[in-house]
Amino acid sequence: MSDLGSEELEEEGENDLGEYEGERNEVGERHGHGKARLPNGDTYEGNYEHGKRHGQGVYKFKNGARYIGEYVNNKKHGHGTFIYPDGSRYEGEWADDQRHGYGIYYYVNNDTYTGEWFAHQRHGQGTYFYAETGSKYIGTWVNGQQEGAAELIHLNHRYQGKFLNKNPIGPGKYVFDIGCEQHGEYRLTDMERGEEEEEEETTMMTVVPKWKATKITELSLWTPTLPEEQPPTDGPGPEEAPGTEGGGELSEEGQALADVSEGETDSMRPGEDDGDGSREEGRENFRYDTIDQGIVSFEEEESKQSELLE
């Protein structure tokens, strides 16, 4: 779900004084508590310091949006809540008029993002919860996109691995509630898509991740980091053989899982897009298939998972 665009709302500057009623200092500047009706129809009520919004205040836009929170030198800075015209809202930290620090964004479709922000974008550790499906993405974000180690949790299974540009990539595993794991790897594959229009004879290439399963095992403990201790040199007993066969593969999987950060046991789910018009982005219309080697719709996947669980 997009969190950009709706808040592209500029507040009146310090020179757009409008009508003011409130306290002033000895040189006549707005200073202390006051109310202002600005030339563009916006209103502000709160604290001023030397003619600028500074401290706690409420700024109401004429289109219905409003900000309730802290200001520093006429800019949103500190803790505050911004309610957008479409009903979505952000509650958290601000810096220099931008979402920055820790905050929660409540989307109009009931999705939520809880986590870190940097320069107005989801960046760092965060959890995205999809209200429509109950799924959540817990992991790393870079410039608003899912990227890095993460866990994608569905109702009866979860995927643990790495993401790049909102897509899973490299080694990972699916963990099923029935008590087994499917290990494998996502590989990027080019898929051709021809244009039907005669005047456009170009062929478009779309890169999609394809799942290649390698083995199914019993459940194993998933932790953010692997223990540094090496196995005893004596060698394992017969009952430990499953853990040592295919050592190269296990090492690769372990490394992928070791990269997962500690904040990943929170609650959330993946992906969205930039731009206010693409509000359906938050509801990903596909999920990553754990049975076939490819991508299927969420409905198809849930049906397959249900059959597997039965």
Residue 70: strand pairing partners: 56
Query: Is 109-192+205-220 in the same CATH topology as 16-85?
Result: yes
Give the separation between CA 234 and CA 249, rounded to whole angstroms: 21
pLDDT, averaged across the chain? 75
Listed by start position, the domains of the chain span 16-85, 109-192+205-220
Least confident of 10-19, 118-127, 179-188: 10-19
Q: Binning pLDDT at 50, 70 and 90, where does residue 11 land? A: low
In sequence order, the 6+-apart residues with CB closer than 8 A to the CB of 161 are: 149, 150, 168, 169, 170, 171, 172, 173, 186, 256, 257
What pTM was estimated for this model as a whole?
A: 0.66
- Tell me what the mean pLDDT of segment 289-306 comes to: 42
Pick the CATH number of 109-192+205-220 from 2.20.110, 3.40.1010, 3.30.1490, 1.10.8: 2.20.110
pLDDT of residue 258: 35
Q: Binning pLDDT at 50, 70 and 90, where does residue 228 land? A: low
Whether residue 220 has pLDDT greater than 70:
yes
Domain covering 16-85 assigned CATH 1.50.10.10 in the classification = no
In sequence order, the 6+-apart residues with CB closer than 8 A to the CB of 212 are: 184, 185, 186, 187, 293
Q: Which of residues 123 and 241 earns the better pLDDT score?
A: 123
Q: Binning pLDDT at 50, 70 and 90, where does residue 298 land? A: very low
Give the separation between CA 183 and CA 304, rounded to whole angstroms: 17
- Tell me what the mean pLDDT of segment 151-163 comes to: 95
Using an 8 Å Cβ cutoff, are 98 and 72 in contact?
no
